């Protein structure tokens, strides 16, 4: 293998490994945070369930005791399902009645399951990040708690706060470095390949550089498009645009070389011919070169 091909192969391999390492670290880090957060919340709900079951409910009516037992059962199901809200933009531990994905906090889930989605909707719209004690004046909430045999203090214990993950809101340094490095190679290949077909005919290496670097840019872009973070979305779109341009021009360069080879193997030249005499005759003279 020539030195040129060796350098090209090593460069593309390094870019690919860097891209996958960056993306893998980002995804693994987010999954690790979410797993720890889910485990923390399940421990919280297990403690709260024991507290609710240990309370003396002799002062409640039979209907209240039955409704309370149903809320404990629903809380256990909520914890097992694990569809918890995510705090994606506020610093520290903050409650979310309903997050951007529609996930409900434990109290919102219990209220909605009883048919009072109107209370949930109003709180999510007006005081989505409020703690339960601050919702004591919320229309319908006090009556709902009383009907289901729960106190405001117990509702406050049920409601958790959700930790933020600022490390994963913005593109990490490695991703930005990979974007700049591979994007620069893609841009260079586009400058190389954005020429006439004839001049491209002898530069297959340039075409392969564009295809390889463009593919890595596309992989980087696909990894960030669809993310909640606007900065990640923007960087993902940039990678997709640069990668697509590099691959299109790289494919064009390969096609141009192939066409040039076919044209160079055999050429037919036709020249109009006029013969004189008593009658003018028109025709063509052919010249075939191999």
Segment 21-28 mean pLDDT: 51
Give residue 218's pLDDT: 83
State pLDDT tens for residues 132-186: 999 999 999 999 999 999 999 999 999 988 876 544 456 667 777 778 888 888 8
Tokens of 129: 């990040």
pLDDT of amino acid 55: 93
E strand map for 108-172: none
Nearest 5°: the CA angle 83, 236, 89 is: 40
User: Residue 7: left (phi > 0), alpha (psi -120 to 50), or beta?
Assistant: alpha
* Among 195, 229, 222, 227, residue whose Cα is nearest residue 210: 195
- As a whole number of angstroms, the distance between CA 222 and CA 217 comes to 9
Q: Is the pLDDT assigned to residue 1 strictly greater than 50? A: no
By percentage, how much of the chain surpasses pLDDT 70?
A: 68
Reported as a single tens digit per residue, the pLDDT across 50-71 is 999 999 999 999 999 999 999 9
For residue 170, the model assigns a pLDDT of 61
Predicted confidence at residue 76, as pLDDT, reads: 96
Higher pLDDT, 41 or 252: 41
Q: Which residue has the higher pLDDT, 239 or 231?
A: 239
């Amino acid at each position: 293998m020539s030195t040129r091909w060796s350098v090209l192969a090593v460069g593309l391999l390094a870019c690919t490994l860097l891209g996958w390492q960056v993306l893998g670290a980002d995804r693994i880090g987010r999954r690790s945070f979410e797993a720890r957060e889910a485990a923390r919340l399940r421990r919280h709900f297990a403690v709260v369930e024991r507290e609710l079951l240990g309370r003396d409910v002799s002062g409640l009516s039979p209907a209240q005791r039955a409704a309370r037992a149903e809320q404990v059962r629903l809380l256990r199901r909520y914890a097992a399902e694990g569809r918890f809200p995510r705090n994606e933009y506020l610093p520290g531990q903050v409650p979310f009645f309903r997050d951007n994905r529609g996930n409900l906090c434990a109290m919102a889930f219990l209220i909605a399951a009883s048919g009072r989605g109107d209370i949930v909707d109003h709180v999510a719209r007006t005081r989505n990040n409020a703690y339960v004690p601050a919702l004591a004046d919320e229309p319908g909430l006090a009556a709902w708690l009383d009907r289901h045999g729960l106190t405001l203090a117990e509702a406050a214990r049920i409601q958790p706060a959700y930790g933020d993950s600022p490390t994963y809101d913005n593109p990490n340094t490695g991703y930005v470095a990979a974007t700049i490095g591979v994007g620069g190679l893609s841009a260079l290949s586009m400058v190389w390949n954005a020429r006439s077909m004839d001049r491209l005919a002898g530069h297959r290496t340039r075409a392969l550089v564009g295809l390889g670097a463009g593919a890595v840019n596309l992989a980087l872009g696909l990894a960030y498009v669809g993310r909640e973070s606007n900065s990640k979305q923007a960087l993902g779109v940039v990678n997709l645009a640069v990668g697509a341009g590099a691959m299109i021009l790289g494919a064009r360069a390969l096609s141009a070389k192939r066409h040039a080879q076919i044209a160079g193997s055999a050429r037919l030249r036709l020249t109009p011919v006029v013969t004189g005499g008593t009658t003018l005759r028109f025709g063509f003279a052919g010249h075939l070169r191999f």
